[in-house]
Amino acid sequence: AGRALQYTNRLHDFLYGLGFDEASGNFQEDNLGNGGAGGDRVQVYVDYNANGSSACNANFGTPPDGQNPTMRLFVGRTSCGQLNTHRGMNGDTVAHEYSHGLSHRLVGGGDLGGGVQTGALGEGWSDAVATTMWNDPVYGEYSNGSATGIRRFAYNNSPLTYADLCDDGTCSVHQDGEIWASTMWDVRSALVGAHGSATGKQRHEQLMVDGMKLTPSTPDFLDARDGILAADRANYGSANQCLLWGAFAARGMGASATSPSQREVHPATDYPASCRPTADAGGPYTTEEGADVRLDASGSTSPGGGGSYAWDFDGDGAYDDATGASPLFDRVGQDGTYTVGLRVGNAAGSSTDTATVTVTNVAPAISFTVAGPREEGGRLMATGTVTDPGWLDPLTATIDPGDGKPVPLGGKLENGRPDATLSFSKELVFGDNGTFTVKVCGSDDDTSTCRDAEITVANVDPTAAIDTSGAVELAGGRTIVVHAGKERTFDARVSDPGSDDETMTWAWGDGTPATSTTSLVNPPDPDPARSPSVQPRDVTDAQGHTYDKPCLYGVSFTARDDDGGTASDRVPVIVQGNAHLSLLADVWYVKYLTGDLTGLGKERLDCYVKTVQHASAVFSETVDVSTREKAADTLFLALLDPKRAFDRQLLAAWLNFANGSFEAGEKVDTDGDLKADTPFLEAVQQAEKVRLDPDTTRKELAAQAKILTCINVPLV
């Protein structure tokens, strides 16, 4: 009895706070002047008829305001499927029964009325008050210890809908009341989800109580629904309308549901149009290629909350490219104007909107380097990239090496985020020295960008080489041998990696004027300061010349390009006399001793020793014959000294060569049989090897002297 008293008083205070007060017809002995009729405290009977046949039940009698209601709480019995419990100990039962009095006093102005749905509402409201008050979706588990209590389902896991009213044609106020109690728990859950546990619970309980006050007599479920919706409009400015509609529609009490009679229902799960979302895609938006833009659908509405946002970026009608109210639009790989679609949906329906995104073009960027030898004819490599944040743009490029004639650049094009990239490499060859502006231009399908790099190309000197293919190898080097008075054609080659005019000059070394010619790279005009072409030079020049006097000369060939670069080559030239017969060593001795004033003359004799010194390894390294006197001394007869005897005959042989008696390849007699058998130069150079060998014996040296003596004997 004490616990029942506690529960009853607590319910009085709980519901009083929700507006079930004196003026509303609450149960109170003294109304304290606050309106309504007093003297109607609740009379509670616990363990009612404990010894009688009634058990497993409770009831509440609600007379008009001012008359005492009666709550009878029976006991539980295993014989009726429950535990042996006292109903007064069961808070669910006390709250349920007390709430029958609540609905009777509030609905229809105190006239609840009767009917299948009205009765079910009474039971449902009572379960709803009990479950929310105790914050437990299971009703009556104290009575039977079941996980679902004394109802078929826990109210947070109930499948019942309006369509289950009078299921199978059987109407039951308790079972049909479970439909309404399930709906009320859904309302409670929705409000808690929207406003938090404390506020959501309080609003649910307030709307239930105030909804009863706004519900007409003999209501059906839809009337009770409308009462709660009206209470929300009055209490909260319609803030929870669509949220409430969501709970009702889910249980079949949607906007178009009807109930022609207490037993006939036509469920519906729709929402009123006012709960449907409105889509606002925002915009218009503007961004650059490569820069994602944040979309803003914050202007959209979803009155019932829980709106979903789906976007169509590619215009295919499928809203499957992004979600959320502010996604990034990432289709910015190419400039243009794009239409994006937004669909906002909630349980009430969906709405669509479009916006435009203008992606502006960004000019491509260029990066390149030029590496390699920066000189005429050098092969340089221009390597770089053209990049564009518009990664879908087609990219092309050209390179102008400085001649004003751009050429296309090939390369590898990659179209992928974050940039379109054209990688290129191009060989550059500059035909002339100077400073060149290399320009690379890159283009997308809208704009172009160019970048310059200055390249300073150095002049390269030409190379020059006299043709010595007919020359002979002597001690003084490879030497051209000609005869006095006979014209000889001299050949030379000039190479130059630059596209230059080449001036070629022959200096003969005999006091005669030099011979010059110019080869133009682009005749007939001289090459300008910066040649317009790439034409490496490979030029040959052939000039004839006649030396009048026998002697040792040096012919020089010089090439000069039009930028001042030079190269030269020099080759010794032995000009022989034209003697037909060789002279003996004794004869040459007399000539050098006397100066041969009536014969060859001093000048020629001096030239001959110069020739000998150039041609002979012995007379350039070991024995000095640089003057006529020294030559005469070498030619003096010396019978007892093998070296002097050898040197005497060797000098005579070389003098005969200088005088023109022997050609370098002419065969001579080396064994005294008066028959030519060995080329002159071969025989003489072999003899010199013996002379210069420190291990040579006197006998070997004498043998070579004999050979040289034979060579010097004139053959007639």
Residues with a catalytic annotation lie at 97
Tell me the torsion sign for CA atoms 12, 16, 20, 25. positive
Q: Judging by beta carbons within 10 Å of its beta carbon (0-12, 13-18, 19+), is residue 10 exposed, middle or buried?
A: middle
Q: What is the DSSP letter of 581?
A: S
For residue 230, which phi and psi values (nearest 5 degrees)?
-65, -40
Task: Tell how far CA 498 is from the center of its chain.
Answer: 41
Reported in sequence order, the residue ranges of 250-314 that DSSP labels E, i.e. its strands, are 285-288, 293-294, 308-312
Q: Scan for tokens 């000189």, then name that residue.
A: 375
Distances (CA, A) of 425 to 24, 365, 513: 93, 16, 52
**b (16+ CB within 10 A) / e for 403-437:** beeeeebebebebeeebbbbebebebebbbbbebe
Tell me the C-alpha distance between 499 and 492, whole Å: 19
Long-range contacts of 269-272 (CB under 8 A, 24+ apart): 270/348, 271/242, 271/245, 271/246, 271/304, 271/347, 271/348, 271/349, 272/245, 272/348
Alpha-helical runs (H) found in 70-196: 91-106, 116-133, 141-144, 173-195
**Cβ atoms of 505 and 514 closer than 8 Å:** yes
Structure tokens at 84: 């042996």
Using alpha carbons, select from 247, 250, 231 the residue that is nearest to residue 239: 231
Q: Angle at CA 100, nearest 5°, toward 99 and 102?
A: 55
Backbone conformation region of residue 36, classed left if phi is above 0, alpha if psi is from -120 to 50, else beta? left
* Residues near 391 by beta carbon (within 8 Å), at least 6 away in sequence: 290, 333, 334, 415, 416, 417, 418, 419, 420
Element (DSSP H or E) covering residue 161: none
Distances (CA, A) of 170 to 160, 175, 253, 311, 581: 15, 10, 20, 49, 157
346 in helix, strand or coil?
A: strand
